[in-house]
Structure 1
Amino acid sequence: MTAVTLYAWAVPAYYEGSAVDHTWVTTYDNRLVAYPAIPEVVAAGQNYWYCWGDFHAKGETPSIPDGFLASGAAELSYASCLCQPDADSRSDAAARGTIFFYGIDGVCHQLANQVLWPTGQSGAPPATVHKARGYWLSNAIFGTYGKQHAAWANRQTTCAGSSGSNVMSTEGTHQDVDDFEAHVRTTLKGRETEDKIRSLIERRRTFVAAVEQLKYDSPDVSAPTAADLNRLYSIFFHEAERIVGGENFKLVFGVSAQVEMNIVDPAIYESALRQRGKR
């Protein structure tokens, strides 16, 4: 077994002025060594998880100059079993974790969280990319680890066994963590918003359940465009603003409801569709 430190990073997402960050994970601190491309990473004996995105030598966002989000000690074989490093998620199915269908099962935030799962040790929760801009937008739609709940639970069990890892307890391994409700309650506590919190949580539950009934995975169903998905997901965001109010919305989601809240990258999504034979 090989112990490593996993580092999570961010850069602004796909369009100029985006309020959402792309996230990825490495075994090296790119503030100290910034490899220019994946061959140099591999040659140095390091690892890079693309997390449904491009290669980035360094992180940088408007709110975090160096793009550093989180880090934690982990067992490399466990993380590598959960999601294949040094491989582009668009072309290698093993590099997708259980975010099998980008934009439907989750986005980069959920896949980065899956890679970071082995950082949970001694009862402490795993590191996540919750500091990334737009994180709570994607979390509201896809949860912390994506929508493939059964597959994710099975992947945890399989990888914990095959890696010989004792990082996660048996109970922790099977937890289907969804920290959105706790985040909302913590963020809005003391703001006389209990009724609004309940309404938001219930609306989110029904919206997510309705979205999960859309069988985009079926070969008999035409896949939506990225624009279709972003419009669909924005319905919930605008409903959330009406429920809790503009100021509270910004506190919960980290962005104003007046900005473009597109969480699905069209280029990545189109690549995913081509891989699935949908384009």
Structure 2
Amino acid sequence: MSAVTLFAWSVPAYFQDSVVDHTWVTTYDSRVKIYPALADVLIAGEHYWYSWGSFHARGGTPVSADGFLASGAANLLYASCLCKPDVDSNIDPAARGTIFSYGRDGVCHQLSNQILWATGSGGAAPATVRKSRGYWLSIAIFGPYGKQHAAWASKKIQCSTPSGSDAMKPGHQESDVDDFQEHLQATLKGPDADAKIKSLMNHRRAFMVRVERLQPAPQGGDVPSASELNQAYSSFLHDAADILGPEDFERVFGERPKDQMNVVDPSIYEQSVRRPMQK
């Protein structure tokens, strides 16, 4: 049966100076039933999306004991076409959605959002992992669905069939917008809010142009290190803190500005760049 409920989860991302949670998606509620390993998930007829991470039997963060983020009804065939479940993103390119290059196209938040896109049907907005720590930090850098905008648009069309999901019906597609500015407008108040928003959005656009240059190199060519990426992203976030001020920065991003604000997990990134980035 193709009708399922998708559940999104989080755990802290334990790497140096991390400001994010790791997120993933399942077809089961780990608050009710815990599967110790992927084999147990498969035996039960359930599914697990790695989202550029490893297997976690359950979620849990300092602010959420179970790590639950969101859930929604979905078409399993559609979700599985958007991103292949039950296999490590490092092993199978189909398990990357259109986050082909971890740390450059996006991170786990963007890939989890791509999977959860399948929960938006009949004009309803899809679920996201917006409750995870560091979500708005990664959205500011990569957007909600990653940097590969054309590939993502194509993937959604490719995975939608006349007899399948209604996720592409008018109304739902409008949800596929970069909602960072909307978040700023809802969060920032006061006489200088509009000026701060305009300044930050302009700075973000200029930053994204620079980030576009961090494209996957030809096979065997040089790629930026995780440290270089994190330094570039931290630099942008420091600029955002200068524009917003520490209090408004915390309101927007849920974190106080820090010397280093890393969103790319070095171990995941280093694994990913050792493999061909097939599209």
The bucket for the TM-score relative to the shorter chain is over 0.9
In the other structure, the counterpart of 1:98 is 98
Describe how 1:73-92 pairs up with structure 2 within 5 A. Answer: 73-92=73-92
Supply the AA of the counterpart residue of 2:50: Y
Supply the AA of the counterpart residue of 2:98: T
Q: Does 1:183 align with 2:183?
A: yes
Supply the AA of the counterpart residue of 2:180: F
The offset of 1:206, in angstroms, is 0.7
**What is the TM-score with the length of structure 1 in the denominator?**
0.94
Q: Do the aligned partners of 2:8 and 2:26 also contact (CA within 8 Å) in 1?
A: yes
In the other structure, the counterpart of 1:49 is 49
Aligned residues: 277
1:70 aligned counterpart, secondary structure = strand
The offset of 1:152, in angstroms, is 0.3
Structure 2: stretches of 5+ with no match in the other structure: none
Query: Deviation digits for residues 73-111 of structure 1, max 9, x if unmatched?
Result: 000000000000000001111100000000000000000
2:53 & 2:15 partners in 1: Cα distance? 13
2:235 & 2:72 partners in 1: Cα distance? 36
Supply the AA of the counterpart residue of 1:3: A
Supply the AA of the counterpart residue of 1:112: S
The offset of 1:20, in angstroms, is 1.1
The farther-off stretch of 69-78 and 117-126 is: 117-126
Q: Do the aligned partners of 2:226 and 2:269 also contact (CA within 8 Å) in 1?
A: yes
In the other structure, the counterpart of 1:13 is 13
Q: Do the aligned partners of 1:105 and 1:147 also contact (CA within 8 Å) in 2?
A: yes
The offset of 1:173, in angstroms, is 3.9
In the other structure, the counterpart of 1:31 is 31
Percent of pairs identical after alignment? 57
Describe how 1:201-220 pairs up with structure 2 within 5 A. Answer: 201-219=201-219
In the other structure, the counterpart of 1:132 is 132
The offset of 1:17, in angstroms, is 7.2
Q: 1:226 to 1:276 in 2, by over 3 A?
A: same
Q: Does 1:197 align with 2:192?
A: no
In the other structure, the counterpart of 1:118 is 118
The offset of 1:214, in angstroms, is 3.1
1:16 & 1:239 partners in 2: Cα distance? 21
Structure 1: stretches of 5+ with no match in the other structure: none
Describe how 1:223-262 pairs up with structure 2 within 5 A. Answer: 223-258=223-258, 260-262=260-262
The farther-off stretch of 268-277 and 212-221 is: 212-221
1:204 & 1:16 partners in 2: Cα distance? 25
2:241 & 2:48 partners in 1: Cα distance? 37
1:275 aligned counterpart, secondary structure = coil
2:207 & 2:162 partners in 1: Cα distance? 37
Q: Do the aligned partners of 2:219 and 2:276 also contact (CA within 8 Å) in 1?
A: no
Q: 1:14 to 1:77 in 2, by over 3 A?
A: same
1:220 & 1:39 partners in 2: Cα distance? 35
2:6 aligned counterpart, secondary structure = strand
The offset of 1:235, in angstroms, is 0.8
Q: Do the aligned partners of 2:25 and 2:50 also contact (CA within 8 Å) in 1?
A: yes
Q: 1:164 to 1:181 in 2, by over 3 A?
A: same
**What is the TM-score with the length of structure 2 in the denominator?**
0.94
The farther-off stretch of 171-180 and 46-55 is: 171-180
Query: Deviation digits for residues 109-133 of structure 1, max 9, x if unmatched?
Result: 0000000001112322100001000
In the other structure, the counterpart of 1:275 is 275
Q: 1:276 to 1:162 in 2, by over 3 A?
A: farther
Supply the AA of the counterpart residue of 2:193: T
In the other structure, the counterpart of 1:160 is 160
Q: 1:93 to 1:59 in 2, by over 3 A?
A: same
Q: Do the aligned partners of 1:51 and 1:89 also contact (CA within 8 Å) in 2?
A: yes
Supply the AA of the counterpart residue of 1:99: I
Q: Do the aligned partners of 1:188 and 1:252 also contact (CA within 8 Å) in 2?
A: yes
Q: Do the aligned partners of 2:70 and 2:129 also contact (CA within 8 Å) in 1?
A: yes
Q: Do the aligned partners of 2:214 and 2:224 also contact (CA within 8 Å) in 1?
A: no
Q: Does 1:147 align with 2:147?
A: yes
